[in-house]
Amino acid sequence: MQPQVNIPFSNTETIPGMTITQMMGVVTGSTVRAKNVFKDIGAGLKNMVGGELKAYTELLQESRNEALYRMLVDAQARGANAVVNVRFATSSVAGGAAELLAYGTAVVVQ
């Protein structure tokens, strides 16, 4: 697990109880991940009956946390102390890999 970056973030326009004093621009974090072949086979078998593919659920959960972490690192590098309006986007890249993107607006709050 990656070290925690202690920056508050929210997917609303403001950080509750604080006022935004300065905007530092859009920050993004992304990662492209694929599951190993054996998990792919397991998921392929589960595909037969349908339903949840737990291996993929976990994979995307982990990767999204990684993307979020990179976004926060980006925000910290810009001298921001909070990120507001965080959004997530996902797209599937060829070859069984998925790209996960987290983006938001880095701000200075007081």
Partner 1 sequence: MERLSSSNEVIRLFVLIVLSLLVPLLPWLVSGIGTAVYQPKKKQELLQREQAFAKTSDVLSTLSKPLSGKEVKEYQVLMTNVVMSPSWIQILVGGILSLFGGEINVFTKVVDWSRREAQQRLREQAAASGYDEVINVRMETTTLSKIRGGKDKTTGIEVLAYGTGIKY
**Which parts of this chain interact with partner 1 (CB under 8 A)?**
9-13, 15-17, 40, 43-44, 46-54, 56-57, 60-61, 64, 86-92, 94-96, 98
What is the C-alpha radius of gyration for the chain, rounded to an integer number of angstroms? Answer: 17
Instruction: Retrieve residue 74's tokens.
Output: 């980006």
28 vs 88, which CB is nearer to partner 1? 88
Q: In what order do the strands lie in the sheet with 97-109?
A: 20-34, 97-109, 82-93
Give the nearest distance from C-beta 35 to partner 1 in angstroms: 9
Q: Read off the amino acid at residue 1.
A: M
26 vs 55, which CB is nearer to partner 1? 55
Residues paired with 83 in a beta bridge: 9, 106
Residues paired with 25 in a beta bridge: 106
Give the nearest distance from C-beta 59 to partner 1 in angstroms: 8
Give the nearest distance from C-beta 87 to partner 1 in angstroms: 7
